[in-house]
């Protein structure tokens, strides 16, 4: 695949009489979310999405002091999961859980444990803890034209805990306005339920990008996540009473 891509690029620049240059990388998107720390904000997690003709990959990284969780999931061009891994690093020691998918069946492996198998249909969300892939992808996968409550298959993996095949939900509940850079933007407001029946309210823009996330029940000491760059404009958002 890489050789074919290189040859295609080389032929293109030679036919144009140009000096060869490296081919462009697959389209990449990086999104960061922050949490308040005293009078400032610290990065809670980052998502990097890389797309190509063959499919796409999402890399989620969550940092909690000396603890880091990285979840990487690969999908084909039809949005079917191909493989995934969750790497938990703490105190310089890394532990890993891996997923390989074949014919819609996911095999999860952890050191010292027998492999487990679950179904992994098209669009399966792979997540772990601490990790925010679940809420991030729920917002992206939501079909705004249908509205209402929508459910999505999920696979929860962890290096030290048994895997789980779950179903997550997201439900449209209304809209709220924020003001940013002198203009008003309407955000959709959604109710989300994930593992352990954990509940959240999320605000999402017209492109399906999560802007603000607050855990329920509302508690000022658990302020949730905010997309980097929206800290001031979303400060007044609160769950409905």
| pLDDT tens column, 126-168 | 999 999 999 999 999 999 999 999 999 999 999 999 999 999 9
3-state secondary structure the chain: CHHHHHHHHHHHHHHCCCCCCCCCCCEEEEEEEEEEECCEEEEEEEEEEEEECCEEEEEEEEEECCEEEEEEEEEECCCCEEEEEEEEEECCEEEEEEEEEECCEEEEEECCCCCEEEECCCCCEEECCCCCHHHHHHHHHCCCCCCCEEEEEEEECCCCCCCEEEEEEEEEEEEEEEEECCEEEEEEEEEEECHHHCEEEEEECCCCCEEEEEECCCCCCCCCEEECCCCCCCCCCCCCC
pLDDT reading at 8 higher than 60: no
Q: Across all residues in the chain, what is the average pLDDT? A: 90
Predicted TM-score (pTM) of the model is 0.87
Percent of the chain with pLDDT over 90: 82
Report whether 56 contacts 47 (CB < 8 A).
Answer: no
Q: Inform me whether the pLDDT recorded for 13 exceeds 50.
A: no
- Domain of residue 38 covers 25-227
Tell how strand 125-127 and strand 149-156 pair up.
parallel
Rounded Cα distance, 25 and 55, in Å:
13
pLDDT at 20: 38
Question: Is residue 222 scored above 90 in pLDDT?
Answer: no
pLDDT value at residue 65? 87
Domain count, the chain: 1
pLDDT in tens, 173-196: 999 999 998 899 999 999 999 999
pLDDT digits (tens, 9 = 90+) for 57-108: 999 999 998 999 999 999 999 999 999 999 999 988 999 999 999 999 999 9
Is the pLDDT at 198 greater than 70, yes or no? Answer: yes
Residue 19 inside a domain? The answer is: no
pLDDT digits (tens, 9 = 90+) for 25-50: 559 999 999 999 988 999 999 999 99
Query: In this predicted structure, what is the pLDDT of residue 17?
Result: 35
pLDDT recorded at residue 2: 39
Q: How far is CA 20 from CA 17, 27, 175, in A?
A: 9, 20, 50
């Amino acid at each position: 695949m890489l050789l074919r891509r290189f040859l295609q690029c080389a032929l293109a620049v030679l036919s144009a009489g140009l000096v060869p240059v490296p081919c462009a990388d697959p389209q990449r998107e990086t999104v960061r979310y922050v949490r308040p720390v005293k009078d400032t904000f610290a990065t809670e997690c980052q998502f990097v999405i890389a797309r190509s003709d063959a499919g796409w990959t999402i890399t989620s990284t969550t940092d909690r002091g000396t603890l880091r969780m990285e979840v990487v999931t690969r999908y084909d061009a039809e949005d079917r999961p191909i493989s995934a891994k969750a790497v938990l690093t703490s105190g310089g020691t890394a532990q890993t859980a891996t997923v390989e998918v074949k014919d819609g069946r996911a095999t999860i492996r952890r050191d010292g444990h027998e492999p487990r198998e679950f179904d992994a249909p098209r669009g399966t969300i792979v997540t772990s803890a601490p990790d925010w892939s679940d809420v991030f992808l729920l917002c992206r996968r939501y079909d705004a034209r249908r509205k209402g409550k929508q459910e999505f298959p999920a696979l929860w993996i962890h290096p030290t805990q048994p895997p789980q095949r779950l179903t997550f939900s997201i439900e449209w509940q209304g809209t709220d306005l924020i003001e940013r850079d002198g203009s008003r933007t309407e955000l959709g407001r959604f109710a989300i339920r994930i593992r352990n029946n954990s509940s959240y309210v999320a605000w999402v823009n017209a492109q399906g990008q999560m802007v603000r996330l607050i855990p329920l029940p509302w508690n000022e000491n658990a302020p949730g996540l905010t997309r980097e760059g929206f800290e001031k404009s979303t400060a007044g958002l609160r769950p409905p009473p």
